[in-house]
Amino acid sequence: MSVSTAACDQSVCTPLPVLGRDVTVPLVTGGEVTYAALDYAASAPALQRVWDDVAAYAPYYGSVHRGAGYLSQLSTDLFENARGTVAEFLGCRPADQVVFTRSTTDSLNLLARALPAGCQVFVFETEHHASLLPWQDADVTYLDAPRTPRQAVETLERALADRDPHGPALVCVTGASNVTGELWPVRELAAAAHAHGARIVLDAAQLVPHHPVDVSDLDVDWIAFSGHKLYAPFGSGVLAGRADWLRAAEPYLAGGGASRKVSRRQDGGVDVEWHDSAARHEAGSPNVIGVHSIASACRALTEAGWDTLVAREQHLVRAVREGLAEVPEVRILSLFGDDAPRVGVISFVVEGWNSSHFAAALSAEYGIGVRDGLFCAHPLVRTLLGTDPQTQGECGAPEAAPGEKSLNAIRVSFGAGTPDEHVERFVKAVKELVRDGAKWRYRTEEGRCVPAV
């Protein structure tokens, strides 16, 4: 998997319209400024196109699958047509299923519930908790953090060579790190998995908003992602891929929609015949607005053109990395090194600063929203920081456990809706804070660093 490094023609390469682009926020030093949303890796703003599509549908909202009325039939068609849109967006194979869930976390927990008996799971310690933790009831092997893409493949190959070759196995790997933004060698990892009789699921939460993804080309068995990172923040996600394990598993949730036929037995019990389709794991009234928004985002990104979107994002990545490189006190976190291809996610620490304090000052004094902490990837951030977790800092990390007050970093992330001005303001603010210090005093309140009043 590679990232285009083509130059971005700024006359045509403009940010996509998103909600909130004109929102102003107050500064502790006085006045207001347009908010610079640079926390896309947590939740991206809604594309204006997505919002418009949802607003156009909202008056026609109705129950899905079980209504005879016009609005119900319209909503059902909208919901089911979204499967085709998502499948096309992901390059799914004809026999693949597209299951709608709540999020990436929900998708991977669903797959964990569908593992066949005796399944061995292999997952790198570098994963987000959404893909690190769902497998604890399985026979799971956690792999050490690799320092090169080649080492990642070699580590997996060694682990798979030692497994029981007769039983089922699953590899779970990210497409792009939520901490460093670095792209992982997904195609090569998939080849290694399949060579050893294992399957592979791709956590694409940080990949699909930034980069074209083709399930068939990457040869992964499943892919999971969240709408709220794909400019569709309405509480839906996707698990797409091979149907056999999903059909063989008990429904993720038992209830209406998952069942094809329910009947009472003479002994007083209940017999249930479950659906074999994606509906098997979609019990209850589905989030049709969330699903519609994902399909809308898929269409919007495709129509905008991935070459243009990727080129513009790489322009922003270079601007941030080059700007931070001019500040000796800043250390950018990386597994694979400076030359590794990456998406618009960059984490760093600043010498002499607690990261929570620095992030709070960016927000309160410059109107810039970033994230600080361990980013729901605690083992990876600990590996990258390599610091003493017992060292206390001025303002505690909100995600850190007691005794780990200084073990945190700052993450800046951006995407299709980010204007140049936001990253320029961010780089300027970092330089000013390092040079001059904060203009305001800060204190810890309920675990978060906030301006003192």
Pick from 150, 152, 205: nearest CA to 177: 205
| Amino acid at the residue 28 | V
Contact status, residue 78 vs residue 325, Cβ threshold 8 Å: no
pLDDT of 184 over the 70 cut: yes
Write down the pLDDT at residue 394. Answer: 43
Give the contacts of 398 (CB within 8 A, at least 6 positions apart): 356, 372, 373, 447, 448
**Residue 278 carries which DSSP code?**
G
Write down the pLDDT at residue 396. Answer: 44
Helices 70-90, 288-304: axis angle to 10 degrees equals: 40
Task: Give the Cβ contact number of residue 243 at 10 Å.
Answer: 16
Least confident interval from 207-216, 232-241, 252-261, 364-373 = 252-261
Q: Is 376 a catalytic residue?
A: yes
Q: What average pLDDT does the segment 30-38 reach?
A: 97
pLDDT of 293 over the 70 cut: yes
- Determine the 3-state secondary structure of 58 from DSSP: helix
Give the distance, in angstroms, between the CA of residue 60 and the centroid of all CA atoms in the same chain: 30
Phi (first) and psi of residue 89, to 5 degrees? -60, -35
Res. 237 pLDDT band, cuts 50 70 90:
very high
The reported pTM is 0.92
Write down the pLDDT at residue 282. Answer: 87
- Determine the 3-state secondary structure of 337 from DSSP: coil
Task: Give the Cβ contact number of residue 305 at 10 Å.
Answer: 13
Contact status, residue 250 vs residue 272, Cβ threshold 8 Å: no
Q: What average pLDDT does the segment 305-314 reach?
A: 97
Cα torsion through 21, 24, 27, 33, rounded to 10? 70
Whole-angstrom Cα distance, residue 43 to residue 255? 30
| Amino acid at the residue 407 | L
Res. 2 pLDDT band, cuts 50 70 90:
low
369: tokens are: 């929203």
Phi (first) and psi of residue 84, to 5 degrees? -65, -40
pLDDT of 116 over the 60 cut: yes
Query: What is 75-142 written as a DSSP string?
Result: HHHHHHHHHHHHHHHHT--TT-EEEEESSHHHHHHHHHHTPPTT-EEEEETTS-HHHHSTTTTSEEEE
pLDDT of 6 over the 60 cut: no
Length of the chain: 453
Find the catalytic residue in 119, 172, 298, 376. Answer: 376
Pick from 245, 181, 193, 246: nearest CA to 219: 193
Res. 446 pLDDT band, cuts 50 70 90:
confident
Give the contacts of 82 (CB within 8 A, at least 6 positions apart): 100, 291, 292, 294, 295
- Determine the 3-state secondary structure of 349 from DSSP: strand
pLDDT per position as a tens digit, 317-366: 999 999 999 999 999 999 999 999 999 999 999 999 999 999 999 999 99
Q: What is the mean pLDDT of the chain?
A: 92
pLDDT per position as a tens digit, 365-417: 999 999 999 999 999 999 999 854 444 444 444 444 444 455 689 999 999 99
pLDDT of 203 over the 90 cut: yes
Contact status, residue 414 vs residue 344, Cβ threshold 8 Å: yes
Write down the pLDDT at residue 8. Answer: 58
Is the pLDDT higher at 55 or at 3? Answer: 55
Write down the pLDDT at residue 3. Answer: 53
Alpha carbon separation from 258 to 65, 101, 223, 247, 252 (Å, rounded): 11, 13, 21, 11, 9
Whole-angstrom Cα distance, residue 138 to residue 134? 9
- Determine the 3-state secondary structure of 215 from DSSP: helix
229: tokens are: 């990172």
- Determine the 3-state secondary structure of 279 from DSSP: helix
Write down the pLDDT at residue 1. Answer: 61
Write down the pLDDT at residue 260. Answer: 85
Write down the pLDDT at residue 66. Answer: 80
Whole-angstrom Cα distance, residue 159 to residue 362? 43
Burial class (CB in 10 A: 0-12, 13-18, 19+), 89: buried
**pLDDT > 70 in the chain, percent:** 93
Pick from 369, 310, 372: nearest CA to 342: 310
